Amino acid sequence: MKKPLLLSLGLLLLFWHITVRAQTYTYIPEKPDVTFLQQLSATCKERYTAEIQALPAKNKKDYLELYEERWTGIKERFDGKEIYTGSAAREYLNRVRAEIVRGNPSLKQLTFDCYFSRTAIPNASYIGHGMILFNMGLFSRLRTESEAAFVLCHEIAHCLLRHTENGINNYVVTLNSAEVQAELRKIKGSEYHKKEQLQKLVKGLTFDSRRHSRDHEGQADSMAVELMKHTRFALGGALSALALLDVIDTDSLHTADCLRRFFNAPDYPFQQKWIAKDGGLLGGHARIKDEEMADSLKTHPDCQARIKALEPAVLRAAQPGAGAFIIDSSRFRSLQESFRFEAIEYAYESNKYTRCLFLTLESLDKRPADPYLVTQVGKVLNGLYLAQKAHTLSKVTALPSPDYRANYNLLLQFVQNLYLENIAAINYYYLRQHHPAMSSYAPFHEAYQQSENFFHL
């Protein structure tokens, strides 16, 4: 009789061991490959140099100014290690790229590279000189590979159709045109209503520029569908990707509930005043009605309009054998999973502490005992403590603003409402709950010790 009992106990122990081990698996962020980034930056710079050498002689100075501005923006992304160098992710994205090129052989003549950007902003962009960035914040929210393929095809289309370069050209040509120059001379020479005239001129130029931008988006969408049609990625992904983009900014975190849950220790209970806010015009949480942009001033058409424009072509197309996943669905999922952590790590490295804390709490909501996430809270709160002490809090936090979503704004208000002693106590008691269980995880141990020091100061 004892043997079966012992066996059961043994199995139980084994099961517990495996389960616990699985739960205590801690994410290790990818260390940026600095050498690779430097090489990539150098390659990009070569392309930039080649492009500016090919600029027309007429109005060259104006072109150079704009290209230099663009290059400065690109270089900042390299210097800030925004581009993700993880080999598994690069390999995956290259496979998606390869499938698109396979189906569209003319793309072999086009110089372009695709990389993941470590930012959590749900977007993707063609930044120039053949560089396409697919933000982790967008990739981690997609449902299928075909949605990812549509996003990539859209950006490839911008590169292929040289929308940025054409836009720059358009701007320079327009600005230096006889009509605009004559108008500027007239404005410069007038004594009264100068600003009014200038605003009228700028408004006209802005409307044109934004209209071109919306046209470009429409062209990129259409071209993307065309490129996708020749791949094995199901075209339905185009429409579902746009539908997702339409609602992607919706708040996913109920900040007040989350803060109350995590920062409510028996020895240091949550205080309602930590999330008190002024809802008036001047409190930072006002809804500014006149900030809603007129359609004519938007750079992108509404997603619903974009879906409507693409539906006929998508529904018409026959794609036998196409599917939502054709490269590697498990790699797709595992990248999505790891990107949530990478985006948190990047936000912390970039000193965007409030963004980091928001992303961390979003993930903690689903995994409250994840050592990496728990430690990240500790690191951020320690960082906020040090910054407030050094009067540099504004350099690592955002302030509540009518531009932000309500739940993000509430987190920003929370940070603003806390004094040094609050930050120290909240952090100490929060981390203490996980001590000593997580103390074997070195980063946790370090964060906890630091929080203890601050608490006892």
Partner 1 sequence: MSTIKASFLPALLATLVCVQPMRGDAQSKLSIDKVYSAYLRNSGTISAKGAIKGYFFLYQSDKIDRHTNEYTLQILDENLNKVRSIKFEDSKKLSLLESAYNGNTLSFLFKNEDNKTLDMKIYDLEGKLKYTYSRAFDKKTDDLMKQYMTLHSDEGMNKNVFDLGEQGFVSVLPMRDGKQRTYEVDYYSSETKKQWTYVPNDDEEKYAFAEYLGSTDSLIILEVMKKNKVMSTKASAHLIAINFVTKKKAWDIDNSTEDVTLLPSSVVSLETGKIMVMGPYFEKDQNIMKDFSRGLAVYEITTAGKITSKVYNTWAGDFAKYLPTNSKGKIDNIGFLYIHKLMKTPDNKLFIVGEGYKRQVSAGGIALMALSGSSAFGATKIVITDMVIMEFNSKYKVVGATIYDKTNNTALANAASDFNSQHVIAAYLKMIGAFDYEFTTGEPDNSSFAVCYSDYERSSEYKGQTFNSIRYNGKKFTTDKIPLKSKASSLKVFPAKAGSVMILEYFKKDKRLDFRLEKLG
- Among 100, 124, 239, 343, interactor with partner 1 by CB under 8 A: 124
Nearer to partner 1, 416 or 433 (CB): 416
Burial class (CB in 10 A: 0-12, 13-18, 19+), 286: middle
* Shortest Cβ 411–partner 1 spacing (Å): 14
Packing angle, helices 353-364 and 406-417, rounded to 10: 120
Tokens of 84: 């993700």
Alpha carbon 329 to chain centroid distance? 22
Q: Is 310 in the site for partner 1 (CB under 8 A)?
A: no
Nearer to partner 1, 125 or 433 (CB): 125
Q: Is 252 in the site for partner 1 (CB under 8 A)?
A: no
* Shortest Cβ 42–partner 1 spacing (Å): 21
Q: How many helices (H) and strands (E) does the chain have?
A: 18, 3
Query: What is the H or E stretch that residue 113 is in?
Result: strand 113-117
Q: Which amino acid is present at 140?
A: S
Stretch of 22-30, 46-54, 296-304, 308-316 contacting partner 1, by CB under 8 A: 296-304
What is the footprint of partner 1 within residues 38-77 (CB under 8 A)? 59, 62, 65-66, 69-70, 73
What is the footprint of partner 1 within residues 419-448 (CB under 8 A)? 419-421
Q: Are 374 and 364 in contact (CB under 8 A)?
A: yes
The residue count of the chain comes to 457
Could you give the CA distance from residue 168 to residue 212 in angstroms, rounded to a whole number? 11
What is the footprint of partner 1 within residues 385-414 (CB under 8 A)? 388-389, 391-395, 399-403
Nearer to partner 1, 151 or 447 (CB): 151
Tokens of 302: 């509404």
The 3-state DSSP class for residue 436 equals coil
Stretch of 44-52, 79-87, 207-215, 447-455 contacting partner 1, by CB under 8 A: 207-215
Nearer to partner 1, 87 or 170 (CB): 170
- Among 118, 154, 340, 379, interactor with partner 1 by CB under 8 A: 154
- Among 101, 114, 138, 307, interactor with partner 1 by CB under 8 A: 138
Could you give the CA distance from residue 115 to residue 95 in angstroms, rounded to a whole number? 12
* Shortest Cβ 161–partner 1 spacing (Å): 10
Q: Is 456 in the site for partner 1 (CB under 8 A)?
A: no
* Shortest Cβ 163–partner 1 spacing (Å): 6
- Among 19, 23, 181, 439, interactor with partner 1 by CB under 8 A: 181
Q: Is 313 in the site for partner 1 (CB under 8 A)?
A: no
* Shortest Cβ 373–partner 1 spacing (Å): 26
- Among 94, 125, 264, 350, interactor with partner 1 by CB under 8 A: 125
Q: Which amino acid is present at 42?
A: A
Could you give the CA distance from residue 374 to residue 439 in angstroms, rounded to a whole number? 12
Could you give the CA distance from residue 447 to residue 383 in angstroms, rounded to a whole number? 10
Q: Are 40 and 83 in contact (CB under 8 A)?
A: yes
What is the footprint of partner 1 within residues 267-286 (CB under 8 A)? 278, 280-284, 286
Stretch of 105-113, 204-212, 315-323, 362-370 contacting partner 1, by CB under 8 A: 204-212
Nearest Cα to Cα of residue 406 among 262, 251, 292: 251
Tokens of 384: 């906020």
Binding-site size for partner 1 (CB under 8 A) equals: 80
